[in-house]
Amino acid sequence: MTGVIGPGGTIGILGGGQLGRMLAMAAARLGLRTHIFAPKGDNPAFEVAHAHTEAAYDDFSALDAFAADVDVVTYEFENVPVETARHLAERVPVRPEPRALEVAQDRLIEKSFVQELGLATPKFAPVDDAAKLGSALARVGMPALLKTRRLGYDGKGQAILYPGDSAFDAWERLGRVPCILEAFVTFSCEISVIAARGMDGAFVAYDIPRNVHEGGILRRSTVPAGISDAMQRRAVEMARTIAEGLNYVGVLAVEMFVADVGNGEEVLLINEMAPRVHNSGHWTEAACAISQFEQHIRAICGWPLGNPARHSDCVMENILGSEVEHWRAIAGEDNAVLHLYGKREAREGRKMGHVTRLKPLSHD
Ligand code: AMP
């Protein structure tokens, strides 16, 4: 296979946050080097990488120097400008391809793409301007969520609309930017598929976590999710369809709602995808021999994918803001695997670390 990067090779990572940090640590364990490219800021990935470039994503001379130093480029952050990824792709392989970024960055493109693949999403309608609000509301109904098409994360850039609320006011609060209106889903739970596709088309998925969000931020992921085997298989097939549709290489996360459609019947609706390792997959570093981080490195370097089997049940909990002060108590717990990101400032709601609490494997 051409394009394989062996030990001693250098992986370029766009983005300097905790995901980049964990990717760099996994790469180091396989004898690979990492060079992180990120704009100025608190970049915890710099501390564990072989090299870093602190520059803006539109600093093309810095990008050229970065491209010359690495064998492959990947990203840990899906809001890297697509032009940055395309510029790099003319110089060095970029995996996954920039198209994955383009799809994931815009909720309208993402949901339309998913529907074109024949997969279900919550009902939605574009809201390009104020004139579209009325027709979108007529199509989607209430309650609904108005979300900015771009740059939304961790529940930011969203407004919920109940009957009687002014959609126009909500749109104004979101900054009068292009949005989508999405039906509010009554779900029994949220799950995600963390899957990997190799350069040879091989595909593997981890067991599915059940995810609980608070204030739009992931609070915890529990494995097993307590959903039926048939639903697990269906969710994995949906993620595979997306990965194949994008000719994807690397780890991909697909967040889904298990939606209650009445009569006790449940369906899977895709909420969003992330073209990268994902917070709801952090438990894999503690409960699997091969973590999502190593899996991503293997995939983008053309190595055989690792076995995603789980050796323990677990609950991964995010450590947010000042909760990090409890590090000592958590470190003292039995069967708890603590991971701290080395961030300097513990702002409220900021992801400072996570802990995965392990339990013996159940056979449900
Ligand atoms: P998002 O940024 O789109 O992933 O949204 C963050 C969280 O808000 C999701 O994980 C859900 O808990 C909730 N949410 C988003 N969209 C919907 C929806 N259409 N219906 C109900 N809850 C939603």
Which one-letter DSSP state was computed for residue 47? G
Cα–Cα distance, 252 to 236 (Å, whole number): 11
pLDDT digits (tens, 9 = 90+) for 69-128: 999 999 999 999 999 999 999 999 999 999 999 999 999 999 999 999 999 999 999 999
From the CA of 319, how far away is ligand 1's center (Å)? 20
Cα–Cα distance, 191 to 189 (Å, whole number): 7
The pLDDT value given to residue 164 = 87
Boundaries of every domain in the chain: 10-94, 123-183, 187-360
β-sheet bridge partners, residue 52: 36
The pLDDT value given to residue 264 = 81
From the CA of 327, how far away is ligand 1's center (Å)? 29
pLDDT at residue 204 is higher than 80: yes
pLDDT at residue 267 is higher than 80: yes
Residue of 153, 217, 271 best suited for mutating to test ligand 1, as the one with most atoms within 8 Å of CB: 271
Of 54-58, 150-154, 322-326, give the lowest mean pLDDT range. 150-154
Neighbour tally for 48: CB within 10 Å: 17
Question: Contact 289/307 with Cβ under 8 angstroms?
Answer: yes
- Residues touching ligand 1 (Cβ under 6 Å) are 122, 145, 152, 155, 182, 184-185, 190, 213, 216, 255, 271-272
Q: Is 3.40.50.2300 the CATH number for 10-94?
A: no
From the CA of 216, how far away is ligand 1's center (Å)? 7
From the CA of 104, how far away is ligand 1's center (Å)? 15
Give me 237's structure tokens: 């097939």
User: Under CATH, which architecture does the 123-183 domain have?
Assistant: 2-Layer Sandwich (3.30)
From the CA of 114, how far away is ligand 1's center (Å)? 16
The pLDDT value given to residue 154 = 61
The pLDDT value given to residue 152 = 72
pLDDT digits (tens, 9 = 90+) for 277-304: 999 999 999 999 999 999 999 999 999 9
Cα–Cα distance, 174 to 176 (Å, whole number): 6
pLDDT at residue 15 is higher than 70: yes
The pLDDT value given to residue 1 = 81
The pLDDT value given to residue 176 = 92
Annotation: CATH topology of 187-360:
D-amino Acid Aminotransferase; Chain A, domain 1 (3.30.470)
Cα–Cα distance, 320 to 331 (Å, whole number): 16
